[in-house]
Amino acid sequence: MAGEVERLREGYAALNRGEWDRSGEFMHPEISWNFVEGQGPDAPQTLSGPERIVEFWSSFFAAWEEWEMAPEDFVEAPDGRILVSVHFRARGSGSGFPMELDYWQVIEMRNGKIYRVDNYLSRPHARRACGLQD
């Protein structure tokens, strides 16, 4: 798991620097990014493929003057997936509106690349989804 966690840390760092092409290099060609909890009715529930995911995130982050997705904890689940707790901080472009949010990602890796991401707003839901007890 240590090698996979290091790859994930590198991917978060590239994303935080706005290195969209570089962040896509950490994704498996068949990646699926799923918003299990927390998306609005008009937002996509699933993004497929590195290009679509990079396009979505670059558009999302354009609304913020500054942002950071800070991974705080990495836990290996019984099934081999990795549970990542993330703290998101941002300040709106123009408005200066501050936002902070904690969320959890259940990540499946394949061949050293991110194959599947399931986003959760609830820690207990994320832990149960990957077979961990609270």
**Where do we find the tokens 């259940």?**
106
Mean pLDDT of 55-67: 86
Confidence class for position 44, pLDDT limits 50, 70, 90:
low
Q: What pLDDT, on a 0 to 100 scale, did the predictor assign at position 21? A: 82
Distance (Å, whole) CA 37 – CA 80? 22
Q: What is the pLDDT of residue 105?
A: 96
pLDDT confidence band for 24 (50 / 70 / 90): confident
pTM over 0.85: yes
pLDDT for position 42: 62
- For the range 5-9, what are the long-range contacts, defined as Cβ-Cβ under 8 Å and sequence gap of 24 or more? 5/74, 5/82, 7/109, 7/112, 7/113, 8/71, 8/74, 8/82, 8/84, 8/107, 8/109, 8/114, 9/71
Determine the average pLDDT of the residues in 32-38: 87
HSE-CB for 19 with a 13 A CA cutoff: 11
Long-range pairs for 50-53 at CB < 8 Å and ≥24 separation? Answer: 50/24, 51/24, 53/24, 53/27
Least trusted range by pLDDT, from 53-67, 69-83, 96-110: 53-67
Contacts of 91 (CB under 8 A, 6+ apart): 64, 65, 66, 67, 97, 98, 99
Answer whether 23's CB lies under 8 Å from 113's CB: no
